[in-house]
Structure 1
């Protein structure tokens, strides 16, 4: 588009290092665009990098809703030219991204750019080609604290991890014809993320029988489990990791895991309470035999070092902090452990069925399995794929550990742990049919939701299920029941009490109260109301009607909504 304007806009650019197939770096000029969701690279630069291209597909939506498709992407690491920061990113390949930026040489003689700052692009004012576009997927990770405003007639200087960028509106001093850039919007060919959110909201009520037909990979995963599972003398299960492709595809993973641990260590140093909880968690891992130290020398055979981090759960009544493991972190060959492992089929009842059956009981009984995944041992031959780096204090030597149990964060972990429960139910079917049926039908992952028509049956279920599970190392805790006189064997029984008004109470996070009422925010908040049994239908139906009104009004995602709808919201 062309328009006669007095002001112009200069777009943020940066010269960065980008990794080639050989591990070397080449310099490239990037356009930083927070309005784009993902990253792009030109075909010319992609050829220079000699990286493996992955088959995928997105649709680009252009002017007049014309569509074009991009079907290839590469994965690489980009690095700051002026510092040590680096980022692993996916880049979609386009023939070209933009014309020369800026479109003419900008006179910056009157701008007050400090001499002591390092510019991300020292020649930002000269027309040069664009090699790649860094979108919002990475853009906001680049921002740093620091901004210089030079005045209304000059652009803003913003500090980033790539150096200082120059961007914004400026007055050149004379009117001219300005070429204005129109950024393409795009969506994944399957569904955009916001469409997926909306789809989940509408289909949560869609009840259908799960397919009993397994895919080839799911059947292979099931067969692998059956052929390799065994009971140890302790009664616990031992499983093998179900690989779907050769583990020799894994490259070097130690350096990334080490770098992420160093970052974690700095964070823990700044927060003594968080560090205390992290140390307690990891020490418990060692004491229970779920993790053991190995030689500080990396194995010469295929292996994988898993980065780890913490997740805080203040609302938890037991574990406030959980350490999670990122087995999707890519190695130097751009393959992660999860890329070469099978996931396995869904083998438990649908949540809707479990909840509906739970409500039919006169007396309810609930509990959950303590540290369920970690009660299943991984075969010795597979533990080198579950290495981590760890030390208690920064002054200690960095140590290498192996995780000996099924690890939360690996692709097949849910299947392997749940499949062991199903195996237990099959073993107990003849000796304890009632308990076996509960284990088979009334568990959702590690949560038991069951009940009975009389207190005697409830006690039988509790006793038999506890005994069967404990023999395999699965200990039930957090017992709840509404049965009169029912007491749990653990130290903190929590009976369910029903008030005289006989009402359900729901806790809803009210952090949305400060959000602007837009179509995007209303959908975001409403879609969080997960209510498979329809107990909140009087509220959710109103929300659905409001969403329909928003679509009928053909409002943009982030524009203000009409006052009448705002009042309804």
Structure 2
């Protein structure tokens, strides 16, 4: 913590050292304000070095972390050892992003930064705006692509090719064959940091080595045999390993394509492309249409789409041959589109839809429609009328995907006949050794929603974690309730109202919950346990209902002085005029703090219902729907 302002690194300080002039514009100017220090212990990765500018001798060195550039060392060239004040170790200036960009459980206290008057903080209005506009209601019609999106699609359309059982696509660069600096030294520095962790953590080393060996065996990466002189078309990607909290024995190696060296990163030169992902709400709604349900997953989706050979030198990385850490690392390069590249989701979705388009004639329109419309990233869900249709569709989509080098696995179904038709290696983990006669079917997650397969119902198993009763803790608690269809929207609304009242009172992020809200919060929080008993039928069309002759959507909306919302029910009528109704979707919002009359709020709620109705009509894809408001 610097007490002597002369020790604070500034743009002028950087300009005084020749090797640091390149980051002078990236440092904070010295303002007339007090310097504060926030210390946190739960986010060490915030200070992990991403890029180093090495010193010449005993000079200070430049260091980039996720928080920006800083200078480490004695910054004053006139430093006197007898100075009793102390030394400046590191000063990092960081502008806190919008609340929409913050990851869950993000803690501002986890970073070290110098406070200045122009720092943008997350203010109450940001959270209030999020509460009042927390979802998109309108269906997307007449989609128009930006020029960059059109460029992305043109590059893939012209460059895609089918080779050796896989689709191969070029990296969609903003400009052809960008010239990049030689960043091997940065990649080597990052690898040395990784090496220290590999040497001290046996479990981490084992999983990391297995992952890398798997890449080589499956041909997802290859050793660079002939290394030409650097001509600007070679880029090295640092990498690190992360664990999924739900899969503690499975590591994923993430390639840091955002790593910056001399003002360049791979992601800066790649086009992201248009969002080709299907709507989550639409996929789940269609999953509820028929009595027979299936769920599946694409194994390592990104890695099944190859990168054109002329682009692979941009995907180099350093590793040890045969996992021998005693040797010098050597050059490898990825042959596939990888996690961490901004273009990979667009490329994978483009390739998946291309597989359906190219093979529709061989395997039928039903399989092609499933591949194109019923996948959300790499998870596919579908509902069908009969078991026979489900088994036939599974065989067709497996064959269609295998044509493009994709393997569908982790199949789940609510019908034991469908599970019986699947090979054990194609089933989900909990269904591999199950006794289909005596055992009950387990609970699985269908696009994040808890699906009890045995009872064929959606359920809500909420893991309640103790969080501090502050605005930060309450925001985290309310945000952890995952409900894409709004089936428990009235419950979540109460939590939002408490959060809104805290924001309206201008409470700080770590200010305690006001006494007048404490009892209300405790009742709401403890009442969440009762959600475990709530069960909502997945299927809106009972198996014994028969052929549907008429489909109606009934929309209800209402408003009050504390909130407004709507809910939509589907009403099915068969040829015998038997009626069946089911809740499809709901939405709720807190009212704006600005005074609004109840009649106007009623109108806003009615408009919300119309938007949801249009969305459901587009996504459900019934031939004829009657809306009742």
Question: Of 128, 134, 139, which residue of structure 1 is paired with 2:92?
Answer: 134
- Take 1:527 and 1:415, find their aligned partners in 2: how far apart are those partners? 27
Shift of 1:355: 1.2
Residue pair 2:67, 2:94 contacting (<8 A) in 1 also = no
Structure 2 residue 223 is matched with structure 1 residue 269 = no
**Alignment match, 1:441:** 373
Change (3 A) 1:362 1:547: same
- TM-score normalised by the chain length of structure 1: 0.69
Structure 2 residue 397 is matched with structure 1 residue 465 = yes
Shift of 1:503: 5.7
Question: Of 286, 293, 311, which residue of structure 2 is paired with 1:364?
Answer: 293
- Take 2:23 and 2:395, find their aligned partners in 1: how far apart are those partners? 66
Q: Deviations over 1:398-438 (max 9, x none)?
A: 11101011111111101111101111121233441000000
Change (3 A) 1:120 1:490: farther
Q: Deviations over 1:344-365 (max 9, x none)?
A: 1011321111111112221111
Secondary structure of 1:485's aligned partner: helix
Question: Of 112, 117, 135, which residue of structure 2 is paired with 1:184?
Answer: 117
- Take 2:283 and 2:391, find their aligned partners in 1: how far apart are those partners? 20
Structure 2 residue 244 is matched with structure 1 residue 313 = yes
Question: Of 244, 267, 280, which residue of structure 2 is paired with 1:338?
Answer: 267
1:22-33 equivalence runs, <5 A: 24-25=19-20
Structure 2 residue 517 is matched with structure 1 residue 565 = yes
1:156-555 equivalence runs, <5 A: 183-184=116-117, 186-187=119-120, 192=122, 203-210=133-140, 212-232=143-163, 234-245=164-175, 247-295=177-225, 297=227, 299-301=229-231, 302-316=233-247, 320-332=250-262, 334-391=263-320, 392-431=323-362, 432-487=364-419, 488-491=422-425, 492-493=427-428, 494=431, 495=441, 498=452, 504-511=458-465, 513=466, 515-555=467-507
Change (3 A) 1:19 1:236: farther
- Take 1:194 and 1:408, find their aligned partners in 2: how far apart are those partners? 35
Question: Of 78, 87, 102, which residue of structure 1 is paired with 2:63?
Answer: 87
- Take 1:39 and 1:355, find their aligned partners in 2: how far apart are those partners? 47
- Take 2:460 and 2:58, find their aligned partners in 1: how far apart are those partners? 51
**Alignment match, 1:97:** none
- Take 2:17 and 2:180, find their aligned partners in 1: how far apart are those partners? 16
Residue pair 1:518, 1:561 contacting (<8 A) in 2 also = yes
Shift of 1:248: 4.2
- Take 2:476 and 2:353, find their aligned partners in 1: how far apart are those partners? 36
- Take 1:330 and 1:409, find their aligned partners in 2: how far apart are those partners? 14
Residue pair 2:68, 2:94 contacting (<8 A) in 1 also = no
- Take 1:223 and 1:22, find their aligned partners in 2: how far apart are those partners? 46
- TM-score normalised by the chain length of structure 2: 0.63
Secondary structure of 2:173's aligned partner: coil
Residue pair 1:306, 1:325 contacting (<8 A) in 2 also = yes
- Take 1:547 and 1:531, find their aligned partners in 2: how far apart are those partners? 18
Shift of 1:313: 1.2
- Take 1:557 and 1:255, find their aligned partners in 2: how far apart are those partners? 41
Change (3 A) 1:20 1:361: farther
More strand by share: 1
- Take 2:259 and 2:383, find their aligned partners in 1: how far apart are those partners? 42
Shift of 1:397: 1.7
Change (3 A) 1:387 1:503: same
Q: Deviations over 1:234-277 (max 9, x none)?
A: 22101001110354442121111111111011011111011000
Q: Deviations over 1:126-147 (max 9, x none)?
A: 9x9x9x9633679xxxxxxxxx
Shift of 1:516: 2.2
- Take 1:353 and 1:460, find their aligned partners in 2: how far apart are those partners? 23
Secondary structure of 2:412's aligned partner: strand
More helix by share: 2
**Alignment match, 1:55:** none
Change (3 A) 1:357 1:202: farther
